[in-house]
């Protein structure tokens, strides 16, 4: 089974598990062995699912400003957790392929494998929610039809992204591509780099 297929199945499970209670404060109950790649994939999608709904909540035009600020800070932390987890997944790939001898004409990819995994996780959530909209009982037929068309595009995107991810991993395995991972270095979260946090006048 390809890595993209394994990943997507785990993402679907995490998404479905989240929506059992469908609440942003539901504790994650990760069924996979701690620190395994499956564990990290499940956690990745769970974080994405929670953030998806936090983003919905904060867009309520009648939200209390103090609640919105608390949500914004929670979303910021979620973004940092998401980035840290992507880098952890890339570390898994780096370790997996560390013994591969690169070909003399090997090239680098525009994104690392884990950032493609990140996009696949978000895509799983988009597909889940678009399907819900396409089949919503109280929605107008035109709404359902429009969402069904969008769902078809998302499913095509899933097919293409999965193929591209698997091709990238195969190219790395065969020495045609090499990994070079750059840390995100998010400056706004760092008290030493954000002028507002270190008190610059």
Report if residue 195 sits inside a domain. no
Task: Identify whether the C-beta of residue 47 lies closer than 8 Å to the C-beta of residue 78.
Answer: yes
Total structural domains in the chain?
Answer: 1
3-state SS, residue 39: helix
Report if residue 77 sits inside a domain. yes
Query: What is the structure's pLDDT at 186?
Result: 67
Query: What is the structure's pLDDT at 199?
Result: 75
Number of C-beta neighbours around residue 164 at 10 A: 16
Report if residue 48 sits inside a domain. yes
Report if residue 148 sits inside a domain. yes
Query: What is the structure's pLDDT at 121?
Result: 98
- Its domain, for residue 11, covers 3-189
Task: Identify whether the C-beta of residue 54 lies closer than 8 Å to the C-beta of residue 139.
Answer: no
pLDDT, tens digit only, all 201 positions of the chain: 999 999 999 999 999 999 999 999 999 999 999 999 999 999 999 999 999 999 999 999 999 999 999 999 999 999 999 999 999 999 999 999 999 999 999 999 999 999 999 999 999 999 999 999 999 999 999 999 999 999 999 999 999 999 999 999 999 999 999 998 777 666 676 777 677 777 765
pTM of the model: 0.91
Q: Which of 125, 129, 111 is nearest to 47 (CA)?
A: 125
What is d(CA 201, CA 198) in angstroms, rounded to the nearest whole number? Answer: 9
- CA 74 vs. chain centroid, Å, equals 17
Residues 169, 173, 178, 183, Cα dihedral to 10°: 50
What is d(CA 23, CA 17) in angstroms, rounded to the nearest whole number? Answer: 11
Report if residue 118 sits inside a domain. yes
Q: Judging by beta carbons within 10 Å of its beta carbon (0-12, 13-18, 19+), is residue 146 exposed, middle or buried?
A: middle
Query: What is the structure's pLDDT at 185?
Result: 65
Report if residue 81 sits inside a domain. yes
Name residue, tokens 């390809």: 2
Query: What is the structure's pLDDT at 194?
Result: 76
Q: Judging by beta carbons within 10 Å of its beta carbon (0-12, 13-18, 19+), is residue 100 exposed, middle or buried?
A: middle
Query: What is the structure's pLDDT at 140?
Result: 97
Report if residue 41 sits inside a domain. yes
Residue 99 main-chain phi, psi, to 5 deg: -90, -5
What is d(CA 147, CA 126) in angstroms, rounded to the nearest whole number? Answer: 11
Query: What is the structure's pLDDT at 41?
Result: 98
Q: What is the DSSP letter of 177?
A: E
Report if residue 199 sits inside a domain. no
Q: Which of 105, 102, 120 is nearest to 179 (CA)?
A: 102
């Amino acid at each position: 089974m390809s890595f993209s297929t394994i990943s997507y199945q785990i993402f679907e499970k995490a998404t479905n598990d989240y929506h059992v209670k469908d609440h942003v404060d539901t504790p994650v109950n990760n069924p996979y062995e701690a620190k395994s790649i499956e564990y990290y994939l499940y956690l990745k999608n769970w974080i994405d699912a929670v953030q998806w709904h936090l983003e919905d909540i904060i867009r309520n035009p009648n939200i209390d400003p103090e609640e919105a600020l608390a949500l914004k800070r929670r979303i910021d932390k979620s973004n940092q957790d998401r980035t840290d987890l992507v880098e952890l997944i890339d570390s898994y790939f780096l370790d997996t392929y560390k013994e591969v001898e690169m070909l003399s004409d090997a090239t680098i990819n525009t994104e690392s494998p884990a950032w493609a995994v990140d996009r696949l996780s978000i895509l799983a959530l988009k597909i889940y929610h678009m399907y819900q909209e396409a089949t919503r009982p109280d929605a107008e037929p035109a709404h359902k039809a429009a969402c069904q068309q969008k769902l078809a595009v998302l499913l095509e995107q899933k097919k293409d992204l999965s193929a591209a991810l698997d091709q990238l991993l195969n190219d790395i395995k065969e020495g045609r591509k090499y990994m070079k991972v750059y840390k995100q270095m998010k400056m706004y979260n760092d008290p030493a780099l954000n002028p507002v946090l270190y008190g610059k006048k």
